Amino acid sequence: MSTLEKDIPQEKDAPRGGVPMVRARGVRKKFGHLEVLKGVDLDVDPGEVVVILGPSGSGKSTFLRCVNHLETIDGGSVHVDGELIGFSASGGKVRHLRKRDVTRQRREIGMVFQQFNLFPHLTVLQNVIEAPTGVRREPRAQARERARELLAKVGLADKADGYPRQLSGGQQQRVAIARALAMRPKLMLFDEPTSALDPELVGDVLETMKTLAEEGLTMIVVTHEIGFAREVADRVVFMDGGVVVESGRPADVLDNPSNERTKAFLSKVL
């Protein structure tokens, strides 16, 4: 146990016999005076697919960004695979991890955004091998071979030598997924991956994500795609006002929500 970790209160309700992939406790985040996360609690087990639903501005993206070190937190704690990502000690003083630990942890968490952000001047294959050969120093030949496998998995084997601008939005997003997978993440975070796509392109991206889920990848997916939540998620979490309001099996949360805010939200999107 590191010196940082021993300051963390031990959780009595941690699952026995297995370390959760994500354990968030009381996560708080402020931007200036605006408190965006007001104590988020969430556990995600290895291999679990959790869909986060919630109205715009409820803090979904901010929460994902806290899990991935894109934001520091102002309170609470986040562990990924048993390792501390961020926490605040008693007295509200925030402490941070060493930079090289942060860098290593971030490599192990893949993230896919609404905007695909591919490198426009690189081919599809070059986009996918960029991080493994650069950051992970994988041999080029090995990275290329794996990139081709990943492109086949996302249904784009024939696009390896094309450029992003030659692809549809849905294809670009699938390249972005392959690029994230190339780092062999143990956790994948998806932040509204289909929200920027034309409706007819959404299905292929969701299908790709479903395949990953079936292969046992641990995923947190922020999406408004209720069909995906119903079919693929192990658990649906509803966030509102910076907290988790409701969490449960998809059928329970979607068809029989117990919270009024969940009901109101679902009545608008269903």
Q: Which residues are at the interface with ligand ADP (CB under 6 A)?
A: 31, 34, 36, 54, 56-62
d(CA 167, CA 62): 29
Which residues, at least 6 apart from 256, have a Cβ–Cβ distance to it below 8 Å? none
Task: Output the smallest distance, CB 219 to ligand ADP, in A.
Answer: 17
d(CA 180, CA 90): 35
Query: What residue is closest to Mg ion based on CB?
Result: 61
- Report the partner that residue 36 touches, choosing among Mg ion, ligand ADP, none (CB closer than 5 to 8 A by kind): ligand ADP
Which string of b and e fits 93-131 if b means at least 16 CB within 10 Å? eeeebeeebeeebbeebbbbbbebebeeeebbbbbbbbb
d(CA 148, CA 157): 6
Backbone angles phi, psi at 153, to 5 degrees: -60, -40
Task: Output the smallest distance, CB 191 to Mg ion, in A.
Answer: 6
Nearer to ligand ADP, 133 or 173 (CB): 173
Task: Output the smallest distance, CB 55 to ligand ADP, in A.
Answer: 7
- Report the partner that residue 31 touches, choosing among Mg ion, ligand ADP, none (CB closer than 5 to 8 A by kind): ligand ADP
d(CA 40, CA 115): 25
Query: Which parts of this chain interact with Mg ion (CB under 5 A)?
Result: 60-61
- Report the partner that residue 18 touches, choosing among Mg ion, ligand ADP, none (CB closer than 5 to 8 A by kind): none
Nearer to ligand ADP, 46 or 241 (CB): 241
- Report the partner that residue 127 touches, choosing among Mg ion, ligand ADP, none (CB closer than 5 to 8 A by kind): none
Copy the structure tokens of residue 8.
């963390």
Copy the structure tokens of residue 182.
């190339």
- Report the partner that residue 119 touches, choosing among Mg ion, ligand ADP, none (CB closer than 5 to 8 A by kind): none
Nearer to Mg ion, 46 or 55 (CB): 55
Task: Output the smallest distance, CB 145 to ligand ADP, in A.
Answer: 37
